[in-house]
Amino acid sequence: MNFVELKRLYDQPLFDLITQSRAAHLEHWRGEQVQRCSLLSIKTGGCSEDCAYCAQSSHYSTGVAREELLPVDEIMHAAQRARAQGATRFCMGAAWRGVRDGTAKFEQVLATIREVSQLGMEVCVTLGEIGPNEARRLKEAGVTAYNHNIDTSPEFYPEIVSTHTFAARLTTIAAVQESGMSVCCGGIVGMGESADDRLRMLEVLSNFQPPPESVPINCLMAMPGTPLAGQPPIDIFDLVRLIALTRLALPRARVRLAAGRTRLTREGQALCFFAGANSIFYGNKLLTAANPAADADVALLRALGLEIEPNEDSEGRGTAVSGDTWRV
């Protein structure tokens, strides 16, 4: 879709917009299913980049301690725990500008992926900039999807990051597409961008060939010490509109209600699910930021009559973890 088409849809009365997005959602997905993903920071802090939202940038004093790449067994332990809690996708994030083939850290990541991919969950990694060789080797090791967010519009991006360019993000995404891995790519709202910036971001995403398999919509977590620490939360109806529009622009994509759910009410999240979000990040922590407690999420999905998607652990025995049935 182009900007004009997106804007025409976006500017409708909210109920007209979500009626259309709900119809698109039900055409391609079971409307009651919500995928739960788990996200682990495998290398935290000390990043060379100056992304204004990020607590892991070494440019800001955020109190996030720099840690080395986690050992394989520690990551495996976290992945097994996530699966036991019902996650069907396990995402691993590293606070790097990028990673290169031929380095010890890349080999360690590949070894980790080979093990984690045996667990039967989708495996997603976000390691920053990569090229065709890295993409090919990650796919061979068992990665399902590579996350690389464009985060905002091409026009607003330089306001947020000065150490790399929007074009460099697209180059990495092209390498991922070429390798045959799925692309997970979305953005952040609430950084001070305009509504048009959000639509321009969506215009870029909806013109990817092939379209992204997964689109995380993050609400800014205003992290103390970052330049965006004082940003107010995004208006809930602006978020719901954006989710509905994402569902219309990318009907087959997983639309993930990602970071920032701690700032949303239960009612706000319910509207997001109705508008087309069909995945959440689950677990008490999201990289370095807080996330709603797993129990609270299960209670919310249960209250809405939504289903959590069964994982291999739950198949055949009707329970995901003790006391936690498929239909939560």
Q: Is 37 a catalytic residue?
A: no
Of 46-54, 169-177, 269-277, 303-311, which segment contacts ligand SF4 by CB under 6 A? 46-54
Report the half-sphere exposure of 184 (CA within 13 A, side-chain side). Answer: 27
239 binds ligand SF4 (CB under 6 A): no
Token digits of residue 100: 């290169």
Of the candidates 36, 83, 124, 241, the residue annotated as catalytic is 124
In whole angstroms, give the CA distance from residue 94 to residue 81.
20
Measure Cα distances from 78 to 114, 197, 296 in Å: 15, 36, 20
149 binds ligand SAM (CB under 6 A): yes
**Tokens 């498929």 correspond to what residue?**
326
96 binds ligand SAM (CB under 6 A): yes
Residues facing 39 on adjacent strands: 91
In whole angstroms, give the CA distance from residue 232 to residue 221.
10
Q: Which of 39, 54, 219, 245 binds ligand SF4 (CB under 6 A)?
A: 54
Do the Cβ atoms of 53 and 226 come closer than 8 Å? yes
Q: Which of 82, 109, 287, 298 binds ligand SAM (CB under 6 A)?
A: 287
220 binds ligand SAM (CB under 6 A): yes
The helix (H) or strand (E) run that includes residue 195 is helix 195-206
In whole angstroms, give the CA distance from residue 35 to residue 149.
19
291 binds ligand SAM (CB under 6 A): no
Identify residues 127-146 at the interface with ligand SAM (CB under 6 A): 128
62 binds ligand SAM (CB under 6 A): no
Output the smallest distance, CB 70 to ligand SF4, in A: 15
Of 72-80, 147-155, 244-252, 270-278, which segment contacts ligand SAM by CB under 6 A? 147-155
Q: Which of 97, 114, 136, 266 binds ligand SF4 (CB under 6 A)?
A: 97
Catalytically annotated residues: 47, 51, 54, 91, 124, 184, 256
